Chain A
Amino acid sequence: MNSLTVYLFVALLIFCIGMFGLLQRRSLIGMIISIELMLNAAAINFMAFNRFLAPDPSVGQIMVLFIMGIAAAEAAIALSLILALFRKLRSINIEHARDLKG
């Protein structure tokens, strides 16, 4: 509870779960959810370093605030993209979106 490693480890677990989801889900919304998890893991890391190592406790918090801002923007854009894609493909299965096939 009062050790850096525990928080880092928890953050790592969440990150990896998120990554697993990101790589494995076929639904675009599922992937968005996974990305949110990964961003949260990063935020936990920042807070943990802020709490245990950093010289100034405010900096880490500001960083986390920025992460939240970016996450919000990202979520908004991603969701609108999903909607657009859905309207085009009538599907949110990522494997149907393969226009980039070379």
Chain B
Amino acid sequence: MQPVMAQYIRPEVVAYAVFFLVLLLTLGGALVAVIPKSIIHNVFGLATSLVGVAGLFIFLGSEFLAMMEILIYVGAICIAIVFAIMLSQPMHLQIPPRWRPKVAFSFVVSLVVFISFTVMVVRTPWEQAVRTSNDWGVKRLGTLLLTRYELLFELISLVLLVAIIGAVITAATASGEKTSESQGGEEGGA
């Protein structure tokens, strides 16, 4: 490596470069997740954006969460969405046309929200609380989850369980109903 280059590749410069890359991933992914009409593109945009968020988590000091982000969001949710798309095969083929006034109105509403929250972010005097602990470790997280936040932990597990069972039942029942109803619907349509 040449010494001239070495002058520029200092840690903080690299950190900045990586930070902007991460930002680019996050925001660009988010835009891709929303704007294109094709749902497959949207899912990939979402995945990109989630990877960027994971990068942000690293910058915010928690490698564990970054890993979890990629595991759960990218690995589970995105894949679930892709599965859903694939399971309901013709879904991604129907691309409903956009209605311009609705798009414009949504944009205006989002802009109003953006402005009001920006004002809030700028005008709030953020104050650092006194630190009681500086331990970012996973060990402490696990300890806390099983001691102080035990109830929450149990609850979220329960919610997940219920969600899974509910999802299965919903999907299964709907498919059971579908056979009778959709046939009637098809006949009516024909």
Is there a contact between chains A and B in the complex with CB atoms less than 8 Å apart? yes
Binding site for B on A (CB under 8 A): 1, 4-5, 7-10, 12-21, 23-27, 29-30, 32-34, 36-37, 40, 43-44, 47-48, 50-59, 61-62, 64-66, 68-77, 79-88, 90-93, 95
| A57 & B170 in contact (Cβ 8 Å cutoff) | no
Best-surrounded residue of A12, A23, A40, A74 (most CB of chain B within 10 A):
A40
Partner of A29, one of B84, B103, B145, B173: B84
The B139-184 residues at the A interface (CB cut-off 8 A) are 140-141, 144-145, 149, 152, 156-157, 159-160, 162-164, 166-168, 170-171, 173-175, 177-178, 181-182
| B159 & A69 in contact (Cβ 8 Å cutoff) | yes
Partner of A10, one of B56, B81, B145: B56
| Interface: B130 (CB within 8 A) | yes
| A10 & B43 in contact (Cβ 8 Å cutoff) | no
Given A17-B30, A19-B113, A47-B60, A79 and B131 touching (CB < 8 A)? no
A40 to chain B: closest residue by CB: B53
Partner of B49, one of A14, A25, A61, A81: A14
B56 to chain A: closest residue by CB: A44
Given A4-B126, A70-B156, A21 and B175 touching (CB < 8 A)? no
- Shortest Cβ gap from B96 to chain A (Å): 4
In the bound complex, residues from chain A placing their C-beta under 8 Å from that of B65 are: 47, 61, 64-65
| B80 & A33 in contact (Cβ 8 Å cutoff) | no
* SS class, residues of chain A in contact with chain B: helix
Partner of B77, one of A64, A66, A75: A75
In the bound complex, residues from chain A placing their C-beta under 8 Å from that of B160 are: 69, 72-73
With A43-B69, A88-B178, A91-B94 given, can you name 17 additional A-B contacts, CB distance below 8 Å?
A13-B27, A13-B114, A14-B53, A23-B106, A24-B102, A26-B98, A29-B42, A29-B84, A33-B43, A57-B61, A64-B62, A68-B72, A69-B160, A72-B72, A77-B163, A80-B168, A92-B91
The B46-88 residues at the A interface (CB cut-off 8 A) are 46, 49-50, 53, 56-57, 59-62, 64-65, 68-69, 72-73, 76-77, 80-81, 83-85, 87-88
| A47 & B56 in contact (Cβ 8 Å cutoff) | yes
What separation, in Å, do the CA atoms of A43 and B60 have in the docked complex? 11
